[in-house]
Amino acid sequence: MSDICLWIPQRRIYTYPDVMIVSGEPEIFNNRTDTILNP
């Protein structure tokens, strides 16, 4: 998942974590297929 970034709305930042686990279906941010909201 290295091409997937995580949007953290509480901090208003994007990040590329080294490891990310998604529970269930990924929640896509603003129709961007490279950014999710729910790690």
For 1-39, the pLDDT digits (tens) are 468 899 998 999 999 988 888 889 989 989 888 899 887
**Domain extent for 13:** 5-37
This prediction has a pTM of 0.69
Instruction: Provide the domain count of the chain.
Output: 1
Degrees, nearest 5: CA angle 25-2-12: 70
pLDDT at 32: 86
pLDDT at 35: 92
Strand arrangement, sheet containing 13-15? 13-15, 5-8, 32-36, 28-29
| Residues 37/7, Cβ–Cβ less than 8 Å | yes
What number of other Cβ atoms are within 10 A of residue 4's Cβ?
Answer: 16
